[in-house]
Amino acid sequence: MTKEVGINEKLLKEHPYNKEFLKEPFHEKTNLLILGAGMGGRLVLREIKKKDDHNVVGFVDDNPRFIGEKIHGIKVYGPISTLPEILKKLKTQKKEIKEVIIAMPSADGIVIKKIIRLISQKIPKISILPTAYEDPFSIKTGLVVPEKIRKVKVEDFFRRKPMLLPFDEILSHYQGKRILITGAGGSIGSELVRQLTIFSPEHLILLDNSEFSLYTIQMELSEKDEIKKTFLLADLRDKEKIKKIISKFNPEIIFHAAAYKHVPLLEENPEESINNNIAGFCNLMHSLNDNVKEFILISTDKAVDPSSIMGMSKRICELILQSKSRKINSKLLAVRFGNVACSSGSVIPLFEKQIEKGGPVTITDIQMKRFFMTIPEAAQLVLQTPILGDTGDILILEMGNQCFLFELAEDMIRLKGFIPNKDIPIKITCTRKGEKMEERLFGDKEKIEPTRNKRISIIKTNYVDDKKLSLLLSKLFNASKQNDIESIKEIFKKEMSQVNTS
C-alpha cells in the first residue's frame, strides 16, 4: 500500500521537472508476526531489522515461559492454537497482520499443517524458515540460516526434526572418494549429488539418460569448481558402455537411483520394467570391479508384497542384490522408502497442476493413503545407510504415519488460499491397475533391527533361491525380447512368490 507525501504547489510551478521526484511514493512497512520465539525466531528478527521493510508486531509461541514477555521490546503472544483470536485482536488495535513467518526449524509437519489450517484464509503471505535437511550450511554447522526464508510449500507438511549422524563421521566416509550416481538428474539423484558436494568427494560421476535432466544439474553445479565432475549421457541398458564407464572412472561408491517409477505407465508397458529397471540393474551388477567398495540400490516400499509391475521389478532387484552380495567383495545395500514429496513420480505435482487450473483435484479412492517424506530428508538418510548397514542388508527409512491423499488434497488447496470443495472441487475417480490402498515398508516375514539412527532400520539378509531367481530372470528376459506383454504379466504375478525369500 502506498500514499503520496504532501506536494509543495509553489515548488512545482517553479520547477516542474521536479514533479515526478516529489511524487515518489512512501512505502508503509508490512505488519509481520513471527511464529516461534526461540533461537530461530530471534535470528529471523535480526535479519528483518537489517532490511527495515517490515514492522514486527509480535512473536507467537507455545512456551508458557515466553508468553506475555518481550523479546527486544516485542511482545510474545500465545499459544499458537489461539492464532485466529490473536490476529483478530491485533486488527482491532489497527495492527492488521499481512505476513507471517514460521520460525520453528525443529517443528514437524503436523504443526505446520495445523498452522496453515488456522491462518491460510486470513494471511496473504506465509513464509517459513527451512530445516537443517534443506540447506548444506545447516547440515554442516547445525545452524539455521535466516536468509533462506521462503514461502511455505507442501513438502513442509512432511518435514521432521533432523536426525543426522555426526557430520565428521559422514564427512570421513565420502571425503576424497570417487562417487557415481545413476539417475543423477532425477529427483533423488540430483539431491544426492547436492548433498554429496558438502562432503568434499574427489570426483562426482553423474550419469543419466535424459539430456535435459543432466544439463539441468550440470548448470546448477557449474560454480562448484573445487569438486571434479563428469557428466555422462548414457543408458544403463547399454551393457558394454556401462562396463567401460565403470572400468574407466573406477568409482569407489555407486548410488543407483535410476529407474522407471510410475506405476500405471509400467502396468501398460511391463517390458520396460524389465529392460530398464531389471536389465539395467543387472548390467551395473555385472560391471562391478574390486575398486567398487559400496553399491547402494534405491528401492521402494512398493517392493513389499508387490501388487504392481513396478514394485515387482524393484523387488527382483533387491533379490538380485542379496544373491550377488554373497559372491563379491563389494558391500551391496538396498534402501527402501516411500513416496518422496514433489519428486517426478509423486502425486503432489499432479495435484498442484489441477489446483492451478481450478480443479477438480482427482483422487482414486477416498481411503487411499501413502507414506511421504521430503527429498532432502530422504537423500540425507540414504547417505547414512552405507555407514550403518552390512552387505546384503535392506535398509528402510522410517516414514512416519501414512497420509490420506484426500486430506493432502484439502491441505494443498488451503495452502493456495482456497476452500476445498467450494473454490476447488475434489473428485473421486477409481483405483488404477497395480495401486494399493496403502503401502508397507517391510513384509510379515522380514525381521527388523534398529541402527544408531532411529530413522533407519535394517532388514537382515534372508535366503534367496538362486536357481529359481535365475529361472525367473531367464523367462522375463525371453518374454521381453519377444515383446510378449501378456506373458510378462503372467510371469511376474505367478512366479514372483516362488523366488521370494523365506
C-alpha 388/C-alpha 450 separation (Å) is 10
Tell me the CA distances in angstroms from 311 to 283, 336, 349, 424, 445, one per residue in order. Answer: 19, 11, 21, 33, 18
Given the DSSP bridges, would you call strands 253-256 and 178-182 parallel, antiparallel or unpaired?
parallel
SS3 state of residue 327: coil
Element spanning 470, H or E: helix 466-481
Given the DSSP bridges, would you call strands 339-340 and 372-373 parallel, antiparallel or unpaired?
parallel
153, 302, 331, 436: which one is catalytic? 302
Contacts of 136 (CB under 8 A, 6+ apart): 194, 195, 197, 198
Contact criterion met (CB below 8 Å) for 222 and 192? no
Whether 140 is a known active-site residue: answer no
Contact criterion met (CB below 8 Å) for 378 and 337? yes
Catalytic residue set? 302
